[in-house]
Amino acid sequence: MGTGTLLTLWVIVWALYGGIVTYVVYRRAGHRGLPGFGIGLLLGAIGNALFVFAIPESEILDSAARAVMGAFGSFLLLIPLWLLLSRQGKRCPYCFEIADPSATTCPHCGRDFPGLAAWRPDGSVPILSVRGLTVEYAVRQGRLVAVDRVNLDVYPGELVALVGESGCGKSTLAYSLIRHVTFPGEITAGQIFFKGRDVLTMTPEQLRQFRWRDIAVVFQAAQNAMNPVMRIADQMIDTVQAHEQMDREHILRRAAELLEMVRLEPDRVLRSYPFELSGGMRQRVIIALSLILEPEMLILDEPTTALDVVTQVHILDILREIRDRLGLTMLLLTHDMAIVARVADRVAVMYAGKIVEVGGINDIFYHGLHPYTRGLINAAPSLVGDLSGKSPIPGSPPNFLNMPTGCRFHPRCKYAVPKCRERVPIMESVDGRQVACHRWREIANMEA
């Protein structure tokens, strides 16, 4: 075998290697493509160097061939080094492309950079920023990704509704904001910033202080989980004293103020046991209790489920009133669009573990861009309008262990095209709102 044959073979091997690495890494590894590709080339270059220098100089590998092969290997080595070390700008952690140092959103993949507050035109900064949050449950059949690379910003004083069908991941997302993911769940990726503090790196003591004082949560059906043998007053005192040194009198004074705010009679309620109160009253007690340490943000998980419509409306009105009086930031989880319509300032729509659209209440209700958002609104029977025009979204939510490829909504979407099955739509920012759908522009034009 002469030098020419050897070089030809060597080029073929490299071409095959490059093709396989590109195919496997780009097609399979999604957004981790470039680092993977860079590492592939790095290993290839090292392999090449070993090959070139391990074979002794001979007729077939003369010094000229060795020089060409060595130079090519070094060139390959330069590519990953350039990718990894390039300082032309900021590297996107999702697609690994370079962006302008001042950018807050990657111009290549459209994702927001972690840890960077997305500024609003009015200059306000989010109180809560979630970036690339991923939460998984280890179940018998495998790993179930209940929340998949979610980004979300909540601004001070606003009431954001997180809406989606049951089982889409709302509670998992909300509870992970205070790192309260129940076993066998685990936060496996992402970042959570509350007023610039990194929640995921807090120590147990910092976390204990953070819960209730910074973010309080009204868990789903919490009104049914009250201690049945303790008077409301004692439950309130216990809760506060678990977090703060405060005397009984002070706690009871504060509790009475809050009970009044939720339109309950303080004296009577504080003396009562939970069973002496109705479901709606217990829910209002829980809301008052959650406010006792003066948190800046309140998360409410389905706060009106299982209550009659009149009580629901009453509680929603109280929530808005509290928000206005205390300037509280709220995240309200619900599957019910009628509730969203009544209270929310902004809406984040969640489908199968991903947020698919975020927008102001009017945008979402009157100009929803994502077909799922439009489906939810068309399916909400309690909204104003002609009931006969309401229709449920066809099909059912996907199995988390067997997620559809590409856009997760494609099996139920009347606008789906082949691209929807192949590629995951990225979140695009449009006039202060966000949507993740390949065809939102065409759909908006079609329906205009």
Ligand X SMILES: Nc1ncnc2c1ncn2[C@@H]1O[C@H](COP(=O)(O)OP(=O)(O)O)[C@@H](O)[C@H]1O
37 touches, from Mg ion, ligand X, ligand SF4, none (C-beta below 5 to 8 Å by class): none
Smallest gap from Cβ 413 to Mg ion, in A, equals 24
Q: CB-wise, 170 or 410, nearer to Mg ion?
A: 170
Query: Is the backbone peptide bond immediately before 184 cis, with ω within 30 degrees of 0?
Result: yes
Residue 401 within binding range of ligand X, rule CB under 6 A: no
Q: CB-wise, 170 or 410, nearer to ligand SF4?
A: 410
Structural contact between residues 355 and 150, judged by C-beta atoms closer than 8 angstroms: yes
Q: Which stretch binds Mg ion (CB under 5 A): 8-16, 163-171, 376-384, 391-399?
A: 163-171
Outline where DSSP puts E strands in 46-181: 90-91, 98-99, 128-139, 142-154, 159-163
Residues 393, 10: Cα–Cα separation, whole Å: 56
Give 192's strand partners. 130
Q: CB-wise, 133 or 420, nearer to ligand SF4?
A: 420
In the shown chain, the binding pattern of residues 259 to 288 toward ligand SF4, with x for contact by CB under 6 A and - for none, equals: ------------------------------
Q: CB-wise, 25 or 144, nearer to ligand X?
A: 144
**Local structure of 142: helix, strand or coil:** strand
Structural contact between residues 312 and 271, judged by C-beta atoms closer than 8 angstroms: no
User: What sign has the CA pseudo-torsion 88, 94, 95, 96?
Assistant: positive
Residue 415 within binding range of ligand SF4, rule CB under 6 A: yes
Residue 223 within binding range of Mg ion, rule CB under 5 A: no
Residue 439 within binding range of ligand SF4, rule CB under 6 A: yes
Q: CB-wise, 21 or 133, nearer to ligand X?
A: 133
Residue 371 within binding range of ligand SF4, rule CB under 6 A: yes
Task: Compute how many residues bind ligand X; rule: CB under 6 A.
Answer: 16
Residue 171 within binding range of Mg ion, rule CB under 5 A: yes
Q: CB-wise, 127 or 144, nearer to ligand X?
A: 144
Cα distances from 306 to residues 95, 161, 339, 366, in angstroms, run 44, 18, 13, 28
Smallest gap from Cβ 254 to ligand SF4, in A, equals 47
Which residues make Cβ contacts (< 8 Å) with residue 375, sequence separation at least 6?
Answer: 393, 412
Tell me how many helices (H) and strands (E) the chain has.
Answer: 15, 14
Residue 89: CB atoms within 10 A of its CB come to 14
Contact set for ligand X, span 137-196 (CB under 6 A): 137, 139, 144, 146, 164, 166-172, 182, 184-185
* Structural Rg of the chain based on CA atoms: 28
Q: For strands 433-435 and 428-430, give the pairing.
A: antiparallel
Smallest gap from Cβ 302 to ligand X, in A, equals 8
The tokens of 417 are what? Answer: 């095209």
* Interface residue list for Mg ion (CB under 5 A): 171
By CB under 6 A, name the binding residues for ligand X: 137, 139, 144, 146, 164, 166-172, 182, 184-185, 400
